[in-house]
Amino acid sequence: MLVAAAVCPCPPLLVPEVAAGAAPELDAARAACTDALGVLAASRPDRLIVVGPAEQSGRGPFPQGAPGSFRGFGVDLDVRLGGGERNSMEPERELPPSLAVAAWLLERTGWSDAPVEGLGVGEPLAADRCFQAGEGIAGRAGRVALLVMGDGSACRTLKAPGYLDERAAPFDAALARALGAADVTALKALDAELAYELKVSGRAPWQVLAGAAEGAGLAGALLYEDAPYGVGYLVAAWS
């Protein structure tokens, strides 16, 4: 069953080497992510599942040790999910950017508390399939923790990637309330079409979380909420 969850944003700019001179602008977000991962460690999970948005090539499961890279962002930096090396003869698939950021966060906090797996989910994934995936994840072990990666709307300001949309701030505010209260019902009710129009990347991962948390009785805390680049970044911890 699900015993804890952390929700973190997934911009590659969260990695200081990628952000370069702009790195201090996300120091507060990084600190909040560290606190959220501390909640996961304190829950003593048997297994940690990392869920994040992915394009077609980055979907599906990723084993512990799966490689990721920030070379596509001009930085000579490699990561592995959960650290260590893969013990497999199968060809390695590279992590999508959201899971590479998660791998960096786990390495940064020295994660060694439980085996780690990754799951990339597509933005178009229907809500009911997200819920089903979450239910399946919750049943994977006696004590399961989730690290859920995703960004809010990308339309908060004129300079945002999606330009300014007046619906963006209310969407992110409602999302912040839901994540802060561990409100599974509110997450299940997220409007997929509106999320798409607002260029939200985390809708499907958050609804996977909702499916996994159904009936778990977790309490939530919102640790960070801001839109420094016109994109909604939120950090929350459930336990």
Question: How much is the pTM?
Answer: 0.95
**Three-class DSSP category at 151:** coil
**Three-class DSSP category at 22:** helix
Which letter does DSSP use for residue 139 in this model?
A: T
Domain coverage including residue 147: 2-238
CATH of the domain at 136: 3.40.830.10
- Reading the block at residue 145, the tokens are 């923790």
Q: Please, are residues 206 and 190 in contact by the beta-carbon 8 Å criterion?
A: yes
Domain count, the chain: 1
Can you give the pLDDT of all 239 residues of the chain as single tens digits? Answer: 999 999 999 999 999 999 998 889 999 999 999 999 999 999 999 999 999 999 987 787 999 999 999 999 999 999 999 976 655 555 678 999 999 999 999 999 999 889 999 999 999 999 999 999 999 999 989 999 999 999 999 999 999 999 999 999 999 999 999 999 999 999 999 999 999 999 999 999 999 999 999 999 999 999 999 999 999 999 999 99
